[in-house]
Amino acid sequence: MSEWKNLGERTVYENRWVTVNMADVELPDGRHLDHTVIRLRPVAVAAVVNEQQDVLLLWRHRFITGAWGWELPSGGTGEGEDPAAAAAREFEEETGWRTGPMQLLLTVDPQPGISTSHHRVYWSDQAEQIGAPADDFESARREWVPLRKVPELVATGEIRSAVAVAGLLLLHHRRLA
């Protein structure tokens, strides 16, 4: 099977978070089409599971979709920043808890047909509370949620983020199966 070929891109919008390009794509049959390409920095995601098999989640509203839901702390990886360190940093900033050593759980590309939104999900089984979250505006609340409830929360739409769904279901499988 032949591949689609990107013959070049032109930027139509750019800021410090995102670059939107139009690509000239040649299909295997020789036809051409313009294809939108959204280029984003890599994202680091953090999950911590405690001894009681609870996971610390953020309850937050996403104005873009108009929905509330549980999410994992996450954020962009800085230029040259180690993704595991970025995940730990985001966790601390958004929860007020400092993680123990972070281990790679999975890597996902949620929208590979249009975006370079590469996510690395890390996890730890250690954390200590160090104070209030520096970025408390990121969520309405932070709670330790039983990992055993994750499948139900996914099914009811209380966990909607694709990356959180993938990471939490994998943690559920590995820790409780």
pTM above 0.75, yes or no: yes
> According to the model, what pLDDT value does residue 138 have?
87
What is the C-alpha radius of gyration for the chain, rounded to an integer number of angstroms?
18
Beta strands 97-99 and 127-129, pairing class: antiparallel
> According to the model, what pLDDT value does residue 66 have?
94
> According to the model, what pLDDT value does residue 1 have?
64
> According to the model, what pLDDT value does residue 78 have?
87
> According to the model, what pLDDT value does residue 17 have?
87
As a whole number of angstroms, the distance between CA 132 and CA 152 comes to: 29
> According to the model, what pLDDT value does residue 41 have?
92
List per-block mean pLDDT (blocks of 10 residues) for the chain, which spans 177 residues. Answer: 91 94 95 96 96 97 94 93 96 97 96 93 97 90 97 97 96 93
Residue 88 tokens read as: 């730990």
- DSSP label of 19: E
> According to the model, what pLDDT value does residue 59 have?
97
As a whole number of angstroms, the distance between CA 50 and CA 30 comes to: 54
Contact 99, 124 (CB under 8 A): yes
> According to the model, what pLDDT value does residue 21 have?
97
